[in-house]
Amino acid sequence: MSRKLFTAGCVVLILLGLVHLLGHYMLVTSQGQSDAERQLLAMMRANPQDMGLGFVRSMFDIVSGFSLYFSLSSFALGLLGFVIRRHAVASPGLLRQAAIVYAGSYGVMTGMALRYWFPAPLFFLALAFLCFTAAVATAPRA
């Protein structure tokens, strides 16, 4: 059961990355739906600051970069989980240890989502957390 739950958590992470990538695309192509939103986006895109070492970025560049990173890191960690799962047969205890790391990380991220974000990422993060926590609970101790 642990292996299936771990796999389910990895699938959730890949789906999170893909769904968030759609949200990222909506962010970078958005022109705003109201005057206030258009003004906010214009201000975020304007006034680039020198960040040192020749890097000049606007607030929109920074937000877009973090958004893209979140999408790609979720996707990558889901794929990494599949690699770990594949090698767990040869290394007893590996799947449980990885599930502990994933459960801890996504537990913290679920808490962050409760405080700072909106329902879509909260749902995916909580689901991943539950899958990995259940994988830990059902995994044999090595």
Q: Give the chain as a 3 state SS string.
A: CHHHHHHHHHHHHHHHHHHHHHHHHHHHHCCCCCHHHHHHHHHHHCCCEECCCCCEECHHHHHHHHHHHHHHHHHHHHHHHHHHHHHCCCCCCHHHHHHHHHHHHHHHHHHHHHHHCCHHHHHHHHHHHHHHHHHHHHCCCC
What is the percentage of the chain residues whose pLDDT exceeds 70?
99
Give tens-digit pLDDT for 17-58: 999 999 999 999 999 999 999 999 999 999 999 999 999 999
Residue 36's pLDDT is what?
A: 95
pLDDT over 80 at 83, yes or no: yes
Averaged pLDDT of the chain: 94
pLDDT over 90 at 141, yes or no: no
